A and B are shown apart, each in its own frame.
Chain A
Amino acid sequence: METTNNKDEPEICKLDFNDSDIEYISYGGEHHLPLIMNLVDEELSEPYSIFTYRYFVYLWPHLSFLAFHKGRCVGTVVCKMGEHRNTFRGYIAMLVVIKPYRGRGIATELVTRSIKVMMESGCDEVTLEAEVTNIGALALYGRLGFIRAKRLFHYYLNGVDAFRLKLLFPRPEMHTHSDHGDSQILE
């Protein structure tokens, strides 16, 4: 699905706040749903019905997170996981941070929390789609180790192509040889 577009970021006037003021909360029930829906409807191009939101947050509430600043919901991530062609795969469906709060690592923190739960739940990999023009999102996921596995022609309703991004978790048997130096895997 999608992630908010970061490319117009410099034009947005940034709010002054401490990173520690941002509170991250796991999806807690129906009262969070309107908050998520408002953010996604406003920031993402694709339309989602209430059934789509419920599909995700009812079945995988522990994979969805919300970011609050002084009681205001400023960001959210919605995910799922399940069997996919013999692998157990996590999927990031929506990631949104409202414009004044971008560039401060909120999206990275949100998505990192979801990915950690996926990893702990035994996922082999994580995937998502992002618009090829969404430089901010592509950089964010690139830093987290995602590769661009495929390009999907005219994927979005607005006619833009998508990249299918993929993150493969290390498997113990892969690291039997010395992989020192670059293995700050997991914390």
Chain B
Amino acid sequence: MAALDRANEPQTPVQLRPRIPSGDNSVWADVSPLLHAACQDLQEGDLIHGDNFNLYAAMSALEIMDPKMDSGMASTYYSLDEAIEKGAAPVPISADKTTDVRCIIDIMDHLLACEATWHKGHSLAQTVYSCLYLLRPERTSSHVLLHSYCQVIRATCKAVLSVVADARTHEEEDLFVMAYGLPLSGDGKERCLPLLNAVEETICRQLRASKTSSSKRRVSEDIEPLQNNPDLEEGYCKALLCRLRFRKHFYHLLMSMKRPQGGGLELAREHIASCISEIGHIRKSSDFLRASAPEMSEKNVENTTASGCQPIGFDASLNSRLSAPTPPRAIKIFCLEKALEYFVKLLHDLDVICSYSLDPSLEAALLFVVKFQKSQPDLISRAHLQLLLVQNGKLFGRYPMFSMITRAAGLPEAAENHEFQKNQLMVQLEQMVINLLKIICTNAAWQRRKLGKMLQDLRVIHVQLELAFKKEFGNTSNNENIGFKIFQHILVWLEEQTYWIAFRFLTVGFELELYADHDYCMVYWYIYIVLINLAEKKHLRIAMSSGAGKKKTKKKRDSLKDGGMNYQISDAVKFLQSQIYLAEGLGMMLAALRNECKIVPPQSPFSTEHEIFIQQFDLLLKACLPESISYQTYKESTAQANFSTLAMCDYFKVAHKMAKELKGNFANDPDTMAELGRIEQVAERNNIALTVISRLGSADPSMKISFTLCHHPFFATAIVKRS
């Protein structure tokens, strides 16, 4: 700044006026001599800084001209204008119409590859918008084919971007939604489809004309062919048509899915089917395109175009200055085949969402999302699901959350409009359920962190509700009062829900590979504890809604597992029981292996198993899930485990038997059937492993035991080998 103010220096030939005039309290002064003097005193590594600038702030500095840091450094062109001037993106691409069409198909293919790469978490500027034709919408207007394609790409990007931005999927979205300085909406959606349709129709006619003989053509239709070579006309027409139609249906699909209250899902499914069919045609066109390329290329898995040629008009470095002020991220654009695979998966995932019955049940919605997440859907489909689930604070935009909660809690319909829904705690609870629905749509890493944090909030609201309940009704039991019932049911439902989240929190840890082998023992033990509580609350909730609520307010933890109850246990609870036995069996088998020194935990110089336990279950322990659980409880319940007693306990046999028997009750529920099958398999294999270990004697030094998750996402199977 000091250098700016040289206006008063008589020896300065160029008179510069300060941009900011001196004020009443400030005056411009030349500090160059002061800086110069200060430099003389500086040692290497010294830093001159203001009070508000520290070493931590200095860390955000980027070093210019370091290729690892300076994302603007490796540009081929200084500006878009320069790139255009030097012919990097000519319009038309070639004066020869055949070459022009061939190059346009390459551009379309490379754009599709870029689009898939963008969806997978890279910046828009460095993927799709590395296409120079997209950056200047007006430049392509003379070339109707290229123009229509660029328009629909821009509109599609805008639509996808808004879905992800609205869903606020956080860490994934950071890079994804960054679109500063990119011409996304220049054309407006209203014009993108008519032009595309017109182009499609023209090419349709050209295709028809190409199939008739040249003499007939002149008579029947006065159609200018797509390009000059009659032998290639049909192939190029077909290759273009499937690409254009894919774009059209994909755009329609996005618009249909956006309709409020899931109103466009059926229509969306039709467009999904069309998109998948067009992808098939794109694949089929690749042999023709490769054969028609100027240089015959081998089928290369790395190619981003079907022809195998490099596309014209792309430069990823040009936009790098539009990226956030961070070092450049490595981007490898998908090859065309991988991009097509990505889109097929995306379309299948969207189809699963569109096929959902929009059942007005919270439990069904939660289970649907959990099942959906098993196929590891990507960001775009998860964002769509989230926006479908929660609209205007209602489930699917249709059902108020309070009535969904009362239904889930097994309350009669009369409760749905009770004034209790205006209660501040209920409003909070509704918000938490909305958050839960959103959280379980996010990626597993983010989801687990958020679920963990949510546990404590749910416990706090449970305590508050309990206090409000006592204040309102004291210790009297007033089963006929609807207010009393609402409190009572919601409290039980909330506990069940909290344990369900805790269970999910623990099991997602396997998917994220957060547990080391030597932590498995405590993890299964904790899963067992959480499952017991979950089963107990679920049973209580089901029993309450069927009117048997009074009987079971007090009972021992293990009474449920032992089946020592004098009323019927539902299938849903029996299903949990089979998981309880499996978790307990695994916990005890691992404890026996530890106690008999077949698994040796690391001997850290800095911490003990106690600290590991506290860290692994910190959030559960803080939320008292359940109360009075500590490292001591874990130690005490696993200290005595050994193989001679373990074989007698039959955990795996019972789990296997229960799962097998239950299959008959879930004949109409393929998902639960599949899960029961997996439980059966893991239980059976672990039972065999246990028998082998017991027979050989765990002292056998040649015996090696390891665990695998190949039969179930979180219940491990033991593998016994003798070396």
Contacts and interface: CB of A to CB of B under 8 A. Distances in A.
Interface of A: 30, 33, 46-47, 49-52, 54-55, 58-59, 112, 115, 119, 132, 142-145, 147-154, 157-159, 161, 163, 166-170, 174-175, 177, 179, 182-187
Given A145-B612, A158-B330, A55 B605 contact: no
Contacts of A179: 608, 610
A150 B445 contact: yes
B427 interface: no
B615 interface: yes
Contacts of B615: 147, 149, 166, 168
Task: Tell me if B's interface is mostly helix, strand, loop or mixed.
Answer: loop
B514 interface: yes
A73 B469 CA distance: 68
- Nearest 7 CB-CB pairings of A with B: A145-B604, A47-B68, A51-B58, A145-B607, A55-B55, A151-B445, A168-B611
B393 interface: no
A58 B55 contact: yes
Contact of A47 (B56, B69, B601): B69
Contact of A50 (B63, B175, B329, B516): B63
Contact of A153 (B44, B446, B513): B446
A58 B614 contact: no
A174 B615 CA distance: 13
A10 B519 CA distance: 28
A176 to B, nearest CB: 10
B566 interface: no
Contacts of A182: 601, 608-610
B14 interface: no
B514 A151 contact: yes
Given A54-B58, A147-B616, A170 B68 contact: no
Interface of B: 43-45, 47, 55-56, 58-59, 61-63, 66, 68-69, 121, 171-172, 175, 326-330, 443-446, 448-449, 512-516, 519, 601-612, 614-616, 632
20 contacts: A47-B63, A47-B69, A51-B58, A52-B59, A55-B55, A55-B58, A144-B602, A145-B605, A145-B612, A147-B612, A150-B445, A150-B448, A151-B513, A157-B329, A159-B330, A167-B604, A167-B606, A169-B611, A175-B608, A185-B606
B171 A153 contact: yes
A51 to B, nearest CB: 4
Contacts of B329: 157-159
Contacts of A145: 602, 604-608, 611-612
Nearest to A168: B611
Contact of A55 (B59, B62, B612): B59
Contact of B606 (A55, A144, A147): A144
A143 B172 CA distance: 32
A185 B607 contact: yes
A143 B600 CA distance: 11
A163 B514 contact: yes
Nearest to B616: A147
